[in-house]
Structure 1
Amino acid sequence: MITALCRTVILYFLIMIGLRLMGKRQIGELEPSELVLTMMISDLATVPMQDFGIPLLAGVIPILILLSLTLLMSQLSLLNLRFRALMCGTPAILIRNGKLQQAAMRKNRYTLDELLEQLRGQGCLSVEEVQYAVLENSGQLSVLPWAKAKPPTAEDLGLTLEEDSLPTVLINDGRVLRNNLRRCGQDEVWLQKILKQEHCTTKEVFLLTVDENGKTLCVPKEADP
């Protein structure tokens, strides 16, 4: 039992480190090479976890080799555009100026039903409403409508709006994040002053944020039902 636990923990953290090295990606945003790597690592990890007769290194070493190979290919992709196109592919334009690019659709084996489904999901009912539709390397479809179909911006309307600023979390579920507090150039005295204005204590706060303009947002905890 202890052996199984140790094997599982070691392989778990090894896989997590490997996925972190691949970068922050969702499953639907993985490149083909990254998806293959994920599947191979998961298969390699399950064998030594289930069969205690197989040495742990029989799973660890192949995983480390795959991760090293992936890092090497990533570095080569940064240095060589042709290698990047070979490994990751290139985006394909499926709609250009409101017209279907049938050759590109056949090359990428992208059916008309799939295209129309993606267009409806982004609020487009007709192909003619789209100026460009680009099939990205991740498999997602980027839809760019005509300029006349885009909603007007504040600049188009001649309006001057105040820019938003990124808020920083100071209290998370009753816990003070002191590193964030120092990063904002504030201290405990300032925090207690804000809490006094909100008529609550630290433990009674579910969320407290402050933005770059000094505006705070305080969300008190709700009482348990």
Structure 2
Amino acid sequence: MYIIMLRTIILYFLVVLIMRIMGKRQIGQLQPFELVITIMISELASLPMQDPRIPLIHGIIPIVTLLFLEIVLSLLQLKSEKARTVLCGEPTLLINKGKIDISALKSQRVNINDLMEELRLKDYFNVEDIEYAILETSGQISLIPKTHLTNATKQDLSLKVKQESVPVTIILDGKVNIANIKYLNKDAQWLMKELKKNNINSPKDVFLGLIDSKGQFYYQKYTK
């Protein structure tokens, strides 16, 4: 009895330590590979607790191995956009310019009732009020409402506003995303001009560069 209690206490604190090392994401924000590792760790920890015949080390070694695997995969998806796409997937536009993308709903297996529920939970009740709805890789849905509805004062004062769009990343971790530049109908010369305007010699000096929702070039350089 006391042995089982001791094994349970050891495994409990080990799993808590592992979870702390893995980071502070909530369950709903975990990427698929993180969720799989979390479930596997909980299963591996429960086996030595239930069966004293299983050596404690046989539970600790797989758990530590999974922690190492999670750290390696996290670093890989931070450094490589291709790895990030494979491991985490890509965001999907469910509502594009005020219209529901039916093919996107089918491919992501999201029914219209779930989509409408997400809108209501974020205090929007009409699809026509939403310019973009984005299914993030974590499974959550982000909303970009029509600009004239974001603040009542803009519409009430009859201010002319430009519709905001989805931000597009063009430099990430020093690497240029050629596909996104083409999506913006720009080229490499345009990018170099933008960098020179901001006294940047090379894309390698930029940690994050994007065209924000207002069409402006936003960047953050590496900190020394």
**TM-score between both structures, scaled by the size of structure 1:** 0.66
Q: Measure, in 2, the Cα distance between the counterparts of 1:80 and 1:131.
A: 30
Runs (5+) with no aligned partner, structure 2: 158-224
State the 4+ residue runs in structure 1 displaced beyond 2 angstroms.
Answer: none
Aligned partner letter, 1:79: K
**Structure 1 residues 50-76: Cα deviation after superposition (integer angstroms, max 9, x where no partner):** 110110011111111111011000111
> Which residue is equivalent to 1:189?
none
| 1:135-154 correspondence to structure 2 within 5 Å | 135-151=135-151
Greater CA radius of gyration, 1 or 2? 1
What is the count of residue pairs matched by the alignment? Answer: 156
Instruction: Name the SS of the counterpart of 2:53 in structure 1.
Output: coil
Q: Measure, in 2, the Cα distance between the counterparts of 1:78 and 1:142.
A: 22
Q: Measure, in 2, the Cα distance between the counterparts of 1:101 and 1:62.
A: 43
Give how far 1:25 is off: 1.2
**Structure 1 residues 107-151: Cα deviation after superposition (integer angstroms, max 9, x where no partner):** 111111110111111111111110010001111111111110012
Give how far 1:152 is off: 5.4
Aligned partner letter, 2:101: Q
**Structure 1 residues 128-187: Cα deviation after superposition (integer angstroms, max 9, x where no partner):** 11001000111111111111001258xxx9xxxxxxxxxxxxxxxxxxxxxxxxxxxxxx
Q: Measure, in 2, the Cα distance between the counterparts of 1:16 and 1:10.
A: 10
Aligned partner letter, 2:73: M
Q: Measure, in 2, the Cα distance between the counterparts of 1:91 and 1:125.
A: 23
> Which residue is equivalent to 1:45?
45
Aligned partner letter, 1:23: G
> Which residue is equivalent to 1:101?
101
> Which residue is equivalent to 2:77?
77
Instruction: Name the SS of the counterpart of 1:144 in structure 2.
Output: strand
Q: How big is the alpha-carbon RMSD for the aligned residues of Structure 1 and Structure 2?
A: 1.8
Q: Are 1:113 and 2:113 matched, yes or no? A: yes
**Structure 1 residues 20-77: Cα deviation after superposition (integer angstroms, max 9, x where no partner):** 1221111111111111111111111111001101100111111111110110001111
Q: Measure, in 2, the Cα distance between the counterparts of 1:146 and 1:120.
A: 16
**TM-score between both structures, scaled by the size of structure 2:** 0.66
Instruction: Name the SS of the counterpart of 1:124 in structure 2.
Output: coil
> Which residue is equivalent to 1:62?
62
Give how far 1:6 is off: 1.7
Give how far 1:2 is off: 2.2
Q: Measure, in 2, the Cα distance between the counterparts of 1:40 and 1:131.
A: 39
> Which residue is equivalent to 2:122?
122
Q: Measure, in 2, the Cα distance between the counterparts of 1:96 and 1:21.
A: 38
Instruction: Name the SS of the counterpart of 1:94 in structure 2.
Output: strand
Q: Measure, in 1, the Cα distance between the counterparts of 2:15 and 2:63.
A: 8
Q: Measure, in 2, the Cα distance between the counterparts of 1:15 and 1:31.
A: 19
Give how far 1:97 is off: 1.1
Q: Measure, in 2, the Cα distance between the counterparts of 1:143 and 1:79.
A: 28
Instruction: Name the SS of the counterpart of 2:95 in structure 1.
Output: strand
Q: Measure, in 2, the Cα distance between the counterparts of 1:59 and 1:117.
A: 42
Q: Measure, in 2, the Cα distance between the counterparts of 1:145 and 1:67.
A: 40
Q: Measure, in 2, the Cα distance between the counterparts of 1:21 and 1:88.
A: 20
| 1:175-186 correspondence to structure 2 within 5 Å | none
| 1:13-32 correspondence to structure 2 within 5 Å | 13-32=13-32
